[in-house]
A and B are shown apart, each in its own frame.
Chain A
Amino acid sequence: MSKIVLSHIDKFYGENHVLRDINLTIEDGDFMTLLGPSGCGKTTTLRVVSGLEKPQHGTMTIDDKPIIDADKAFYEAPSKRGLNLVFQSYALWPHMTVFDNVAFGLKIKKMKKAEVEETVMRSLKTMRIEEYRDRYPNELSGGQQQRVAIARAIASSPKLLLLDEPLSNLDARLRIDMRAELKRLHRETGTTIIYVTHDQVEALTMSTKIALFKEGEISQIDTPLGLYTNPIDLQAADFIGNPRINFIDSKSVYDGENLSVESVFGTYVFPKSTLKLDEEIPLNKEFDTVLGLRPEMVDVYTEDPHHKNTVPAKVYANQPAGSETLITLTVGGLEFLAIQVGLVEYDMNQQVFVVLHPSRMNVYNKETGRLIKFAKTKHKAGIDD
């Protein structure tokens, strides 16, 4: 139904360059999440797509139809782009009932009265709020208002639905409910969705693709799994994942065939096939690298499991949290984090053995901060890797 292509979008506020050469393709039916810390340009990108902001440079098409051509000062009106937007603040009109809020856009389209009634009720039913049709927004709870905002956005059957941090005003439990609701909505309607959030859990759980923003630029576009397994640079690695990834300083040498990486864990050798060769990798010369090690990739044993990648370690601190346990470990002065499913008890300073999986580690060039060695995704990795 709709494929959106943004190319070379630049947006300035005065001297402030807030979007820098944004290139993004959103395929039909995608659930594309724009992810990043606040002030990184993700909301601005969404507003450019919606037509509420006009970029100074770049083009945008929907299904090959030009929507923005900044050089020609051409900007299609927001209402003619076939999209709708759910605001972070919901932006429900306080002087209209739920019904009137949802019906507003339909009435503007001069839809017949009976049809308006039917369409509004259908979208209220989809969001399971039909009993509130005659209430005013201030008579509803936050979660209900959120549903009205979504109902209003989907009533016009947009080809593209834009959501700007829609869950940030909800409490933790409602957020989980609404995540499920949104995912179901995406499945049922098949609408292309662009979703803005700073919450990586939302991004990872709902999206088909994630565009990671950093200071007005897109640093990586990938599937949730791809982004999680192989963040493109140290900042991205640091941002994605909770608890955060362990960074382990290391020295590496690349001889053109293999990359050998030396750290407190010993020396690992990675073949050329696992390397990201378009990145800067000095040849035949030792250089500083950083190993990226996810806490859940550290297996902890109380007795030596006789695995080839076993390293003895000490327990520094232990945080059982019900469904999982966080263990802070030390190896030769290096502190790092492991996570285990379920409640596990360790004593302080207890001797343990950790099994590591080099093939599932990332290697970053410390100087450029960029990923130079891919980690295998879990379902591709063998148990002994």
Chain B
Amino acid sequence: MAKKGWKHPPMTKERLKNQFNSLIGNPFNVIVFITLILLFVLIIIPLLSMVHNTFIVAKSELRNIPGAKVGDYTLWYWKYLIASPLTKTILWVPLRNSLIIGAFVTVIAVPLGALMAWLMVRTDIPGKGLLSALILIPYMIPSWCKALSWMTIFRNPSMGGNGVLSSLGIPVPNALASGFIPIIIVMTMHYYAFSYIMASGALRSINSELEEMGEIQGATRAQILKSITLPLILPSILSATIMTISKSVGTYGVAARLGGNNADGTPFYVLATRMKDFINSSPKGVGYAMSILMILLAAGTIIINQKLIGTRKSYATIGGKGTRSNLIQLRSAKWPMLIVISLFLIIAMVMPVFFLVMESFQIVPGGGYGANNLTLYAWIGELQNAPNPGYAQNGLFRNSEFVRALGNTVKLSLIASLITATFGQFFGYITTRGRGKWYGNAVEQLIFIPYLMPGVAFSAIYFSMFSQPRLGGLIPSLYGTFALILLVSIVKHFPFASRSGSSNMMQIAVELEEAATINGAGFWKRIASIIIPLAKNGFLSGFLLSFISIAKELDLIAILMTPKNYTLSFLAFDYSKEAMPQVADAICIVIIVFILVTNRIADKFGGNVSKSM
């Protein structure tokens, strides 16, 4: 802290006393302090604890490691994972599968999203109002719902039943029923949203005068697109690419549902599904080690992205003052382009929902839509009247598991999003008011960590931390408790909530608070009468968006689930594995309706699903 030309004043008692008082007397400092501790305890310690656990002998491995005692240091788990005869099956093959999926999803989804963004923002494509209202709906449908819907169509006997196609007598090859192709297609229908959202943001910030200048110079539309528009949005497309790779490599739900079996009858694994199996069975340490690899993989790509793009990202907004934008006329390409978007919407939104709804009314899935195969049983049926003796439970609205899962979901989403959104506002407050100061940066970076981790790996951390008593029994084992699921949901959503909080706080000029300070308002008075009234709408939209995100979450909570804590997502996932997909379909529909309605409300408060990436 030594500064040129200024000697540090002597540390008198009075100086110390005053410094101490101003530190403690300012609630803001206290809040920053508590926040740093909280983030350290909730993020850093669990992460370190999991790393630690991969080097410690657990009870279940005693028989595998001769002469070891529980708690000894060991490299056994890591050796098992990366240097054992099993390495190929448990690591290289799933890793290869994940990377293949990630590569294909990225190659298809990113150009698709960018094209649609360009069409929607910069061209005169007909029906824009309606299209732009619909185009992000496929992203709002949970990806595992789309996986279930895929099965309603392409299921074949290898997946334990018939889908629409095979019931019509059309043979469905195994490659379409499960494995790479369905996983890639379903993920593409989900992760197109990253490049769509980022590219349309970048396109919107480009002044159309830049393109018009090209036109005046005599460039054709194709040349303008290639040498002016594309280079300008390239940074955001690159960003979207990295995000897509990182997300698709880490996704659990879709791969778990559509993985199926390899040709030789062994299960098809990706990293996430393989890891979950290790954690839920044994050896857990290997699962932890895998999740560390997944975190490194995801974090690595995102950090590379930050380094590569970070500095250049801003130039996409040069000329961002241009609000007036002259649209590019598509002329003869107008209708073909409209067909492309419509086809996408049909495949990614209309068909999944339609077939989910239809299957939910069927007695035998894949048994056709004749009156003799239709029933409301999946919705309201009672077991004693079941039209099919194979049914295991009542219809949805008479099913106590559904009611409990509904209760759990509402309870979890409500509490978690309320807490995470509230914390998010505080974090946003600290990071915006502390911009450029050490504590602002520290909070910002700590909060960013959960964002780097795939959901399934993040919950592995919490599983490893809390599946045993901690602090000498002061914290009991939390495995199987609602509290643990709640905690994971809250912390995993910190990055998003804090981003929403800081964009909210950024809109509240510091002077508004300073004016209140001068008029005698203390910290809490300022929060109550300036910050809260002005942050209200932003808070509500942030809250509703976290609410949606938590309500549809599957990857994040899959590892931590026990029957009494099932949420709707997990219940649907569970049912779909049994021979009763209709009820799972019905749950999906309930979730989709719920998401769309909540999103509509969030929209009213200025919330936007594009902010919830």
Q: Contacts A72-B14, A84-B518, A108-B525 known; A17 to B3 CB distance under 8 Å?
A: yes
> Is A93 touching B515 in the complex (CB atoms < 8 A)?
yes
Interface residues of B in 480-528 (CB under 8 A from A): 509, 511-512, 514-521, 525
Q: Can you offer 26 A-B residue contacts whose CB atoms are under 8 A? A: A15-B4, A17-B4, A57-B9, A71-B10, A71-B12, A72-B12, A73-B14, A73-B16, A73-B19, A75-B18, A78-B518, A79-B520, A84-B518, A87-B511, A87-B514, A91-B511, A93-B512, A93-B530, A95-B533, A105-B520, A105-B521, A108-B519, A108-B525, A109-B520, A152-B515, A156-B519
> Is A108 touching B520 in the complex (CB atoms < 8 A)?
yes
Chain A residues, CB < 8 A from B6: 10, 12, 17, 56-57
| Per-position 1/0 for A150-192, Cβ under 8 A of B | 0010001000000000000000000000000000000000000
Chain B residues, CB < 8 A from A56: 3, 6
| Per-position 1/0 for B1-36, Cβ under 8 A of A | 001111001101011101100100000000000000
Query: A74 on the interface (CB 8 Å rule)?
Result: yes
Query: A70 on the interface (CB 8 Å rule)?
Result: yes
Interface residues of A in 66-84 (CB under 8 A from B): 70-75, 78-79, 83-84
Query: B534 on the interface (CB 8 Å rule)?
Result: yes
Q: Contacts A12-B3, A17-B4, A73-B22 known; A87 to B520 CB distance under 8 Å?
A: no
Chain B residues, CB < 8 A from A70: 9
Q: How far is the CA of A105 from the CA of B514 in the complex (A)?
A: 12
Chain A residues, CB < 8 A from B519: 79, 84, 104-105, 108, 152, 156
Q: How far is the CA of A187 from the CA of B137 in the complex (A)?
A: 64
User: Chain B nearest CB: distance from A264 CB in Å?
Assistant: 43
Q: How far is the CA of A104 from the CA of B526 in the complex (A)?
A: 11
Q: How far is the CA of A83 from the CA of B520 in the complex (A)?
A: 10
User: Chain A nearest CB: distance from B121 CB in Å?
Assistant: 29
Query: A85 on the interface (CB 8 Å rule)?
Result: yes
> Is A50 touching B18 in the complex (CB atoms < 8 A)?
no
Chain A residues, CB < 8 A from B516: 93, 104
* B515: contacting residue among A51, A87, A109, CB under 8 A: A87
> Is A72 touching B18 in the complex (CB atoms < 8 A)?
yes
Interface residues of A in 298-329 (CB under 8 A from B): none
> Is B517 touching A91 in the complex (CB atoms < 8 A)?
no
User: Chain B nearest CB: distance from A69 CB in Å?
Assistant: 9
Main secondary structure of the interface of A (DSSP, over half): mixed
Q: Which A residue's beta carbon lies closest to that of B521?
A: A108
> Is B3 touching A15 in the complex (CB atoms < 8 A)?
yes
User: Chain B nearest CB: distance from A292 CB in Å?
Assistant: 32
Return the 9 tightest CB-CB contacts between A and B, nearest first.
Answer: A105-B519, A79-B520, A91-B511, A73-B18, A71-B9, A91-B515, A108-B520, A73-B19, A95-B533
Give 12 new A-B contacts, CB below 8 A, not counting A51-B517, A73-B14, A95-B533: A51-B518, A57-B9, A71-B9, A72-B12, A73-B19, A73-B22, A84-B519, A87-B511, A94-B534, A108-B521, A152-B515, A156-B519
Chain B residues, CB < 8 A from A85: 514-515, 518
Please list the residues of chain A having a beta carbon within 8 angstroms of any beta carbon in chain B: 10, 12, 15, 17, 50-52, 56-57, 70-75, 78-79, 83-85, 87, 89, 91, 93-95, 104-105, 108-109, 152, 156
Q: How far is the CA of A95 from the CA of B509 in the complex (A)?
A: 13
User: Chain B nearest CB: distance from A62 CB in Å?
Assistant: 14
Chain A residues, CB < 8 A from B3: 12, 15, 17, 56
Interface residues of B in 79-137 (CB under 8 A from A): none
Q: How far is the CA of A74 from the CA of B12 in the complex (A)?
A: 12
> Is A91 touching B18 in the complex (CB atoms < 8 A)?
no
Q: How far is the CA of A348 from the CA of B369 in the complex (A)?
A: 98
> Is B9 touching A95 in the complex (CB atoms < 8 A)?
no
Q: Which A residue's beta carbon lies closest to that of B508?
A: A94
User: Chain A nearest CB: distance from B555 CB in Å?
Assistant: 40
Q: How far is the CA of A85 from the CA of B519 in the complex (A)?
A: 9
Q: How far is the CA of A84 from the CA of B521 in the complex (A)?
A: 13
Interface residues of B in 514-557 (CB under 8 A from A): 514-521, 525, 529-530, 533-534
Q: How far is the CA of A70 from the CA of B5 in the complex (A)?
A: 15
Q: How far is the CA of A50 from the CA of B511 in the complex (A)?
A: 13
Q: How far is the CA of A10 from the CA of B3 in the complex (A)?
A: 11
Q: Which A residue's beta carbon lies closest to that of B12?
A: A72
Q: How far is the CA of A15 from the CA of B509 in the complex (A)?
A: 26
> Is B520 touching A74 in the complex (CB atoms < 8 A)?
no
Q: How far is the CA of A73 from the CA of B533 in the complex (A)?
A: 34
> Is B518 touching A79 in the complex (CB atoms < 8 A)?
yes
Chain B residues, CB < 8 A from A87: 511, 514-515
User: Chain A nearest CB: distance from B543 CB in Å?
Assistant: 19
Chain B residues, CB < 8 A from A78: 517-518
* A50: contacting residue among B19, B518, B525, CB under 8 A: B518
Q: How far is the CA of A15 from the CA of B3 in the complex (A)?
A: 7
User: Chain A nearest CB: distance from B165 CB in Å?
Assistant: 58
> Is B509 touching A91 in the complex (CB atoms < 8 A)?
yes
Kindly name the residue among A15, A57, A83 whose own CB sees the greatest number of chain B CB atoms within 10 A.
A57
Chain B residues, CB < 8 A from A108: 519-521, 525
Q: Which A residue's beta carbon lies closest to that of B536?
A: A95
Chain A residues, CB < 8 A from B517: 51-52, 78-79
Q: How far is the CA of A94 from the CA of B18 in the complex (A)?
A: 35
User: Chain A nearest CB: distance from B515 CB in Å?
Assistant: 4
Chain B residues, CB < 8 A from A73: 14-16, 18-19, 22
Q: How far is the CA of A108 from the CA of B9 in the complex (A)?
A: 36
Chain B residues, CB < 8 A from A95: 533-534
Q: How far is the CA of A50 from the CA of B515 in the complex (A)?
A: 10
| Per-position 1/0 for B544-588, Cβ under 8 A of A | 000000000000000000000000000000000000000000000
User: Chain B nearest CB: distance from A92 CB in Å?
Assistant: 8
Chain A residues, CB < 8 A from B14: 72-74
Q: How far is the CA of A89 from the CA of B514 in the complex (A)?
A: 12
Q: How far is the CA of A152 from the CA of B533 in the complex (A)?
A: 20
Chain B residues, CB < 8 A from A52: 514, 517-518
> Is B520 touching A75 in the complex (CB atoms < 8 A)?
no
> Is A91 touching B514 in the complex (CB atoms < 8 A)?
yes
User: Chain A nearest CB: distance from B547 CB in Å?
Assistant: 25
Chain B residues, CB < 8 A from A91: 509, 511-512, 514-515
Q: Which B residue's beta carbon lies closest to that of A95?
A: B533
User: Chain B nearest CB: distance from A234 CB in Å?
Assistant: 25
User: Chain B nearest CB: distance from A164 CB in Å?
Assistant: 9
Kindly name the residue among B3, B511, B515 whose own CB sees the greatest number of chain A CB atoms within 10 A.
B515
> Is A75 touching B514 in the complex (CB atoms < 8 A)?
no
Q: Contacts A104-B519, A108-B519 known; A74 to B534 CB distance under 8 Å?
A: no
